[in-house]
Amino acid sequence: MPDNCLFCKIIRGEIPASKLYEDDEVLAFRDIAPQAPVHFLVIPKKHLSGPSAVSIEDEQLVGKLMRIGSEIAAKEGVPHFRVVFNNGSQAGQTVFHLHMHILGGRHMAWPPG
């Protein structure tokens, strides 16, 4: 768990977050700068720098992010939602701890910008 990783700090409780779900493997919390009426992040507690760092042993964990995220989206009242994983700075990644964005509650344009 890198000391200087923002999301590891949220996991450790060193930085507050509006938590929606937590278990021993996964944490979900609201994005601090929401880009839609509902915008939250689902992250593994294991530090992985992004999608490119996912290995075979993480496959089940990454699937769990999607299941948990979908369940939270339903509870939040947004059965239609956009799922985003940014990988690398050119793709818009700013926090280098794997995270799944879920955005809902408004129309989503395609393709994304």
Q: Does 101 bind Zn ion (CB under 5 A)?
A: no
Rounded distance between C-alpha atoms, residue 19 and residue 85, angstroms: 19
44 close to 59: Cβ distance less than 8 angstroms: no
Rounded-to-integer distance, Cα 107 and Cα 53, Å: 31
Catalytic (active site) residue 80? no
Hey, CA dihedral for 83, 58, 72, 88, is it positive or negative? negative
Position among 22, 25, 31, 71 found at the interface with ligand 5GP (CB under 6 A): 31
Residue closer to ligand 5GP (CB basis): 65 or 93: 93
Which of 80, 99, 101, 107 is labelled catalytic?
Answer: 99
**Residue 20 contact among Zn ion, ligand 5GP, none, beta carbon within 5 to 8 Å by kind:** none
Supply the residues annotated as catalytic. Answer: 99
